[in-house]
């Protein structure tokens, strides 16, 4: 049983320095011809300021895309988000193509629903006031109970903070999911086909106790790793991922980038050790 997901992340609506709404419009327009999408998943940092207003803009734009295709759209929280605003706008975070709430809620803002036999589980890794993430004990026990019974087409786990990090980035090793080994223990040997994340604003794949992990590119911006080794260059250019599940090479992750005449234009430089904006001049 094959499924195709459109994975978006880090939309950061109402960002003060970048036109996040235009970036979202651009990537949704450019993926309009991708066939056979079964659902849209959005893995956190929905509104840059955590506001209900920003979340509402995202829900309308992604909801319109999903409605035209007759597919569900599913959301989870990120470190920029607010649980109160999330619940007020998204409810469980799982909506059908009509916008009706179809999720069964778990602890915090976790939820689950099925897409033609594929179980999609969204976790809440938000730690208020912090950049790193954690999944609570209650969520892990809820997840363990869910995974005790296999789904017809397996499961996908979606959360904002990757349970992996590149060894070359000291900073990313401090802002990812804390206690990833606890999540690994729960999902290992179960029917989880993939773990989908965001947060890093780049394409990164890895494995967690035998389960493929994908951190997708950001919609609002991406990291350009061609900067000098001690720096990370933030550039313009909306990205997304097409996730194919259930085929002979499943899972497959195909990163797509919006056609933007300003794509690759530097927005900022960040110190690769601390994540603090660098003082060196920003160059293309």
How do residues 6-52 score in pLDDT, each as one tens digit?
999 999 999 998 999 999 999 999 999 999 999 999 999 999 999 99
pTM for the structure as a whole: 0.95
Residues 226-242 have a mean pLDDT of: 89
Of residues 277 and 211, the one with the higher pLDDT is: 211
- State phi, psi for 243 to the nearest 5 degrees: -110, 120
Give Cα separations from 212 to 44, 180, 243 (angstroms). Answer: 19, 14, 12
pLDDT at 146 over 70: yes
For 65-124, what is each residue's pLDDT tens digit? 999 999 999 999 999 999 999 999 999 999 999 999 999 999 999 999 999 999 999 999
Task: Please report the pLDDT score of residue 283 as a whole number.
Answer: 43
Residues 254-273 have a mean pLDDT of: 87
Reported confidence tier of residue 169, pLDDT bands at 50, 70, 90? confident
The contacts of residue 187 (CB under 8 Å, 6+ apart) are 143, 147, 157, 195, 208, 209, 211
Reported confidence tier of residue 280, pLDDT bands at 50, 70, 90? low
Query: Residue 143's closest CA among 93, 196, 180, 106?
Result: 106
Reported confidence tier of residue 151, pLDDT bands at 50, 70, 90? very high
How large is the greatest C-alpha to C-alpha distance in the chain, in angstroms?
54
Percent of the chain with pLDDT over 70: 98
Reported confidence tier of residue 261, pLDDT bands at 50, 70, 90? confident
Place of tokens 């999944």: 135
- State phi, psi for 7 to the nearest 5 degrees: -105, 115
Task: Please report the pLDDT score of residue 284 as a whole number.
Answer: 39
Residues 203-215 have a mean pLDDT of: 97
Answer whether 261's CB lies under 8 Å from 246's CB. no
- Going along the chain from its start, the domains and CATH numbers come out as 3-271 (3.60.21.10)
Average pLDDT, the chain: 94
């Amino acid at each position: 049983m094959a499924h195709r997901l459109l994975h978006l992340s880090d939309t950061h609506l109402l960002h003060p320095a970048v036109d996040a709404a235009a970036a979202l419009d651009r990537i949704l327009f450019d993926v309009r011809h991708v066939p056979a999408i079964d659902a849209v998943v959005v893995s956190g940092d929905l509104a840059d300021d955590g506001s209900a207003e920003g979340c509402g803009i995202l829900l309308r734009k992604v909801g319109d895309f999903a409605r035209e295709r007759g597919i569900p759209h599913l959301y989870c929280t990120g470190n920029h988000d607010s649980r109160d605003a999330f619940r007020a706008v998204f409810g469980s975070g799982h909506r059908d193509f009509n916008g009706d709430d179809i999720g069964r809620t778990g602890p915090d803002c976790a939820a689950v629903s099925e897409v033609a036999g594929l179980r999609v589980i969204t976790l809440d890794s938000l730690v208020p006031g912090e950049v790193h993430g954690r999944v609570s004990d209650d969520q892990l026990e809820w997840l363990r109970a869910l995974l005790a019974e296999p789904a017809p087409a397996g499961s996908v786990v979606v959360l904002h903070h990757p349970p992996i990090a590149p060894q070359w980035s000291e900073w990313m090793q401090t802002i990812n999911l804390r206690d990833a080994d606890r999540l690994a223990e729960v999902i290992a040997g179960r029917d989880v086909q993939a773990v989908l994340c965001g947060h890093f604003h780049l394409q990164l794949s890895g494995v967690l106790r035998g389960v493929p992990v994908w951190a997708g590119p950001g919609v609002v911006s991406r990291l350009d790793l061609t900067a000098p080794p001690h720096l990370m260059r933030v550039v313009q250019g909306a990205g997304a991922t097409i996730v194919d599940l259930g085929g002979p090479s499943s899972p497959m992750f195909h990163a797509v980038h919006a056609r933007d005449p300003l794509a690759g234009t530097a927005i900022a430089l960040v110190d690769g050790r601390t994540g603090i904006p660098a003082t060196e001049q920003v160059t293309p």
